[in-house]
Amino acid sequence: MVLRVYDTRSRAKREFEPLVEGSVRLYACGITPYSPSHLGHARQAIAFDVIVRWLRHSGYAVEYVTNFTDIDDKIINVANAEGVDFTVVAERNIADYYTVMDAMNVLRADTYPRVTESIPEIIDMVEQLIGKGHAYVANDGVYFEIDSAPEKYGELTGQTLEMVRAGAGGRVDNTGSGKRDHRDFALWKLAKPGEPSWVSPWGEGRPGWHIECSAMSLKHLGETFDIHGGGADLLFPHHEAEIFQSECCLGHEPVVKYWLHNGLINVDGEKMSKSLGNFWTISDTFEHVDPLELRYALLNAPYRQPIEFNMAMLEESKKHHERMMEVYGKALVAAESSEWKGHKDLETAAERFTTGMNDDFNTRTAMVEVQIVVRELRALLDSNADSGLIAACVGWLNEFAGNLLGLLPDVKTVRAAQAEGVSARSNLASQVEPLLEQRAAARADKDWARADQIRDQLNELGVVVEDSPNGPVWRIE
């Protein structure tokens, strides 16, 4: 099955055909580092991390670029409140980004351009837009003129300029800026007293938000590239503004062949927002689950689908990931090698996994296959099956759950944890086994209160008991 991706601009799934055979150039909008990275950043980064992993697995050489918007009103506001330079705020939150993304097994992008390092390219692009009649100088900076290319309005959202005008009541900006239409957007903003600024032909100032990504993507990926991505919250105005700027500056379309957007996160049924008190940083989440358990939760839905985030969902993902790691760790000890190809059932699982991922990177389908293989592996371990079959499952998980979905830590880490767990289990066995015998007797006598009391004693030891057809199975939590 060929890879098909949902292109937001055409509003359809399209067969993926890169501009250059065997090569993919991809730009995803990155963070504005005014505060620690949050769950929305995790969703976007993990979604595009898996997309990049799958494209590389499919044989493409991928050049992946994601940016840092390291100068912005919010960064300036935080810096002013703290009495520090804006770079201090940006740098500490970029460091936080790298830390939490590394913990979640997000592979580093090939390039991380910054706005503050791209000022010459931004100024050059603004000059070209002015020269071509698409932008004008006002009292407080430079604006892109929507009326210079009205046919491009709504390329991603489906809105038309006429629809917007009908509801606008002829509004324009009356603050004295010289802005001609309320839909025009800033390309360059003249600096206010005390703000960071750079020299430009229009006075000292800094870039508008939208022009930054246009300039950085074109600088690093060229005048046409394959994929531009980001969260669905960037559809309007950010990405539509990018289409205006890039295509009007270069004089051709499309500059981007496929536009991909990941779904957003709702917390307890509402959009995540600081004002609603339901805002989670990634570090906040790590207090409840391990980083790879969070990754598991965020991959358990197709990337374009919104995610309903709550503690129940988080606990469920934690449970599934723990089970996977328990089974995988035991299998590593039992396995002699990690070659899976040639085993019919695993090849079928690989085919279904591939079909799902080739259908617009459907990680939900892929995760189902991982869960099936984990269940089969657990059954093999419980029945003391041939180590060759166990090794085949380990190899399959290494490739599909590990390399492609990023859900497994490196093998050395797992082996070390397994050895530590075996030691801890051995130390507890003398306490746990008699309690399990007592619990079995209580259950046989239908003394459920006593059975529950023993389970509580086991929980106090950090032991979780699961009843299976072959009897109780215990593990250290």
Place domain 4-262 in its CATH homologous superfamily: HUPs (3.40.50.620)
pLDDT of residue 452: 85
Q: How many other CB atoms sit within 10 Å of the CB of residue 368?
A: 16
CB contact at 8 A, 401 and 53: no
Whether 97 contacts 53, CB under 8 Å: no
The secondary structure of 131-148 as a DSSP string is HTTSEEEETTEEEE-GGG
Decide if 387 contacts 334 (C-beta within 8 A). Answer: yes
Which pLDDT belongs to residue 169? Answer: 39
The reported pTM is: 0.87
- Render the burial of 278-306: b for 16+ CB within 10 Å, e for the rest: bebbbeebeeebbbbbbbbbbbbbbbbee
pLDDT at 383: 87
Q: Please name which of 10, 364, 342, 311 lies closest in space to residue 158, comparing C-alpha atoms.
A: 10
The H or E element spanning position 102 is helix 86-103
- CA 432 → CA 43, 97, 438, 449, 464, distances in Å? 40, 42, 10, 18, 10
Residues of the chain with CATH 3.40.50.620: 4-262
Segments in 132-239 forming alpha helices (H) = 161-168, 209-221
Q: Which part of the chain is CATH 1.10.730.10?
A: 270-409
Q: Identify the pLDDT of residue 420.
A: 52
pLDDT at 140: 95
How much is the pLDDT for 392?
93
Q: Which two tokens stand for residue 430?
A: 């003398």
Instruction: State the pLDDT at residue 174.
Output: 47
Q: What is the pLDDT along the chain (477 residues), one digit of tens a residue?
A: 799 999 999 999 999 999 999 999 999 999 999 999 999 999 999 999 999 999 999 999 999 999 999 999 999 999 999 999 999 999 999 999 999 999 999 999 999 999 999 999 999 999 999 999 999 999 999 999 999 999 999 999 998 777 655 544 333 444 567 899 989 999 999 999 999 999 999 999 999 999 999 999 999 999 999 999 999 999 999 999 999 999 999 999 999 999 999 999 998 888 777 777 788 999 999 999 999 999 999 999 999 999 999 999 999 999 999 999 999 998 988 886 667 777 889 999 999 999 999 999 999 999 999 999 999 999 999 888 888 899 999 999 999 999 999 999 986 666 555 555 544 455 666 777 788 888 888 888 888 888 888 888 888 877 787 776 667 776 666
Which superfamily does CATH assign the domain made up of 270-409 to?
Isoleucyl-tRNA Synthetase; Domain 1 (1.10.730.10)
Burial class from Cβ neighbours inside 10 Å (0-12, 13-18, 19+) for residue 21 reads exposed
CB of 321 within 8 A of CB of 292? yes
Distance CA 95, CA 78 (A): 17
CA distance 281 to 293: 15
CA 96 to chain centre: 15
Cβ-based neighbour number of residue 240 at 10 Å: 22
DSSP label of 228: E
